[in-house]
Structure 1
Amino acid sequence: MNLGAPGHYFGKMRGITRGSPPRVNGAEILWSWVGAFLGIAAVACIHRWFLADTDLRLLIGSLGASAVLVYGAARSPLAQPRNLIGGHVLSALVGVTCWQWLGFVPWLAAAAAVATAIALMHLSRTLHPPGGATALIAVIGSDQVHAMGYLFVVVPALIGPLVLLLVALIVNNIPSDRRYPEFWF
């Protein structure tokens, strides 16, 4: 059975290019590593210095995914400041609202939060995939996260990405062959 035969389900699909993603050079890998290390370290240190004695959380999982985009794929439209900040903030608003209105049915709140966040990010041209995780965190987070209410939109969903952005503006512009951002708005 030839799986690559024309017309076969696994054959050539329209609009899909076969092959592996292109390799990046060692310098690109190094600058991505430096940016991600410094960005996440900055968020974690700010949390430790200013928020360690509070119930607030600055470091959330979706910021790790943002670091991949902002430092590892800095030219992607999904990694630009508008998307980074707008995607997290809008998604946090949606997530908190869905928890408050639908939290009595957690599966419904989770599904509505992620789906609505995606739709609103599309409509506002702020699509940032980690935003979906931020919306979900607002729903499935701990009692401490839920007790924050709309403060979750500021800490971590606004301040965390702002810190990543500040580090990206420095690190991504040190090498002459990298430029960040590609656009602001």
Structure 2
Amino acid sequence: MVAIDTVGAMVVRRLRLQRERGRAFQPRFASDEIVSAWLGAALAISALGLIGAWSHYPLVVAPFGASAVLLFGAPASPLAQPRNIVLGNTLGALVSTLCVLALGQQPWVMGVAVGLTIGLGQGLRCLHPPAGAVALLGVLLDARPAYVLSPILSGSVLLVLIAVLFHRLRPAAVPYPHHWL
């Protein structure tokens, strides 16, 4: 009977530990942070769309939605810093363009482009998760060299500049960026 009680106590302790660890890994956001993230992302993506419509240059791609999540929802993350966003996204566009030019649009090329983007992003210290989506999208769209400049490089730079301005206008905000390079 003692052994069963000991095992039961161990299971209960283990479950409590797992539950406590789960809370530690999932951040809680204050209501002002939630509103700020929503407002910042909405304004930034809308601004890119409006500037793109006005200039007749495409500036919005789906991966920028994921970049906006990091910029406004987790601006302290190393993956949300300007270097990571601008260089990471541009690297993804460049890799996908080169892959399409050299290898075509076969399904396996998507994997090669995403994998290369991750490896190069890690090696060059500019890892940005949405850059994998930029690479995937580039292959799907049969990207040409112009894809690197517009929408990716120009859109990434504008997105970062909007985020810097937005975060500086919020007096109680976490300072952004933590570093440029």
* Same topology, TM > 0.5: yes
1:57 corresponds to 2:58: yes
Deviations 1:109-156 (A, max 9, x none): 101000000000001100000000000111012xxxx3x611100001
Instruction: After TM superposition, give the deviation of residue 18 of structure 1 in Å.
Output: 2.1
Stretches of structure 2 that go unaligned for 5 or more consecutive residues are 1-7
Mapped to 2, the partners of 1:172 and 1:77 lie a distance apart of 16
The one-letter code matched in structure 1 to 2:109 is A
Q: Report 1:120-131 matches (<5 A).
A: 120-131=120-131
Q: Report 1:63-78 matches (<5 A).
A: 63-78=64-79
Q: Report 1:144-159 matches (<5 A).
A: 146=142, 149-159=144-154
Stretches of structure 1 that go unaligned for 5 or more consecutive residues are none
The alignment's C-alpha RMSD in Å is: 2.4
Deviations 1:2-24 (A, max 9, x none): 9x949x9x9978xx932361321
Matched with 2:26 is: 21
Mapped to 2, the partners of 1:149 and 1:172 lie a distance apart of 34
**Secondary structure of 2:169 counterpart:** coil
Compared with structure 1, are the counterparts of its residues 102 and 11 closer, same or farther at alpha carbon in structure 2 (3 Å cutoff)?
farther
The one-letter code matched in structure 1 to 2:169 is I
TM-score by length of 2: 0.85
The one-letter code matched in structure 2 to 1:129 is P
Instruction: After TM superposition, give the deviation of residue 177 of structure 1 in Å.
Output: 2.8
The one-letter code matched in structure 1 to 2:68 is A
Instruction: After TM superposition, give the deviation of residue 167 of structure 1 in Å.
Output: 0.9
Matched with 2:133 is: 133
Greater share of helix residues, 1 or 2? 2
Aligned length: 169
Q: Give runs of ≥4 in structure 1 deviating > 6 Å.
A: 10-13
Structure number with larger C-alpha Rg: 2
CA contact (8 A) 1:117 1:135 kept: yes
Q: Report 1:40-51 matches (<5 A).
A: 40-51=45-56
Identity %: 36
Mapped to 1, the partners of 2:140 and 2:17 lie a distance apart of 40
